[in-house]
Amino acid sequence: MNMKYNIAVNTVNAALKIYAHCLPSHVNHKFPEFVKGRIALVRRIAEEMRSDDSGYPVVWFHVSSLGEYAIARPLISRIKAHGNATVVLTFFSPSGYRALKDNHPGIDHLFYLPLDTRDNVRGFLEAVRPSVAVFMVSEYWPNMLEELKFRNVPTYLVSAIIRNDSVFFRWYGKIFRRSLSSYTRFFVLDRNSLVNLRMLGCTNVTLSGDPLFDNAMLVADTPWSSAALDRFCTGDRPVFVAGSVSDSKDIALVAKAVSDHPSMRCIIVPHDVSERTLEKIRKSLDCGSVLYSELERNGGETAERIVIVDCVGKLAYIYRYATMAYVGGGFTPLLHSVIEATVYGVPVSFGPRIERKVTPQQMIELGIGAMVRTPQELSAWIDSLTPDKLSEIKKAAFEYVKSNLGATDEIIKTIENSLWQKK
């Protein structure tokens, strides 16, 4: 194992422990929350797992944040439906952990992922004792993967994208290239990833679909409504949903679109619902707005035409109210899920940074998605959505989603084979 990596991760671990002791108890920002959540984490995990006397094999899912959880969710549902298994889910990000900590159906144990030191890894795996480990998208923790391989735990990477410029092809990527050998199988989203993994010596690769489609359909089929939004969205005025609005560029685009279309109702759903972000969005608008919590208290009554959602976990359901949508994060490498809106037949726009995603490029080619770089481009795109165009896009979007359903079946079959064989 690379000595420099271990020195670095141990140094970070030690620094975080010192920082944690200096934090006021009331601090709840993202980074302090990340630190506080890891205080005595391995000990707390061990204590909780000792109380689990089910005797079932453990399937451990690890996701970075809430977006990756959407990939894991249909897999978790299928595991719980098909047999007796204990599901452990870990998050790296506080936002994902916070969203699920009070309500996580199908998940028996929910934890943060400990930092990737050797001691943390060994303590975690001794406590959890997974029969199978399933990671999402791009998780390459060298110590964890090496220890899983040593313990002969079948380990899978789902919805992987291996780009030409990924860390594995860089001069410093040796430690991460070595970690690839720990995976039992890769499920990749595109042919380029399959080719790149084979170039790296990995032949255990399956080109599969994206479980995000299955998850989005699961959400779309779930009965859900908001009495407040039902009332807000009544009538024949178009509804523009701006989901996962993440940064200043997202906010500028959305604010311009709202200003240019005074007859349009708008629902803005920030990725971060801190008071600071909510205030920043409100100040960017040249007209009034109401918070979702206020709208609920008022029974949907408001003189404003903009709602800003100040809670998490509702966006995938709110898209069902949309006439058209903008998905945030596209001015960074971390564009959020465009599938959540597409599953309702809604045309979707997004920023230009789509190199890490397969779906947005496919949607552009099909005419159901659009890349926008400026506020003017977003406004022009909204203007182009005539009733006939909306009808065409809705039909094409439904066909696109339908053709991509079913990835969960293929992946879960492989995972369950390992699980019950190991049992």
pLDDT recorded at residue 24:
54
Higher pLDDT, 157 or 5: 157
Copy the structure tokens of residue 98. Answer: 């916070």
Among 12-21, 93-102, 149-158, 350-359, which stretch is predicted with the lowest mean pLDDT? Answer: 12-21
Cα 112–Cα 335–Cα 202 angle in degrees, nearest 5: 70
Task: Determine the Cα–Cα distance for residues 423 and 418; give it in Å rounded to an integer.
Answer: 9
% of the chain beyond a pLDDT of 90? 67
In this prediction the pTM is 0.81
Cα 369–Cα 374–Cα 378 angle in degrees, nearest 5: 45
pLDDT recorded at residue 313:
84
Backbone phi and psi for residue 3, each to the nearest 5 degrees, phi listed first: -65, -40
Copy the structure tokens of residue 142. Answer: 């060298």
132, amino acid identity: V
Higher pLDDT, 349 or 1: 349
Q: With 90 as the cut, is the pLDDT of residue 284 above it?
A: yes
Answer for the pair 340, 316: CB distance below 8 angstroms, yes or no.
Answer: yes
pLDDT recorded at residue 94:
85
% of the chain beyond a pLDDT of 70? 93
Interacting residues of 203 by C-beta distance below 8 A, sequence separation 6+: none
Among 126-140, 164-178, 217-231, 276-290, which stretch is predicted with the lowest mean pLDDT? Answer: 164-178
SS3 string of 17-66? Answer: HHHHHHCCCCCCCHHHHHHHCCCCHHHHHHHHHHCCCCCCCEEEEEECCH
Interacting residues of 270 by C-beta distance below 8 A, sequence separation 6+: 244, 245, 246, 277, 278, 281, 308, 309
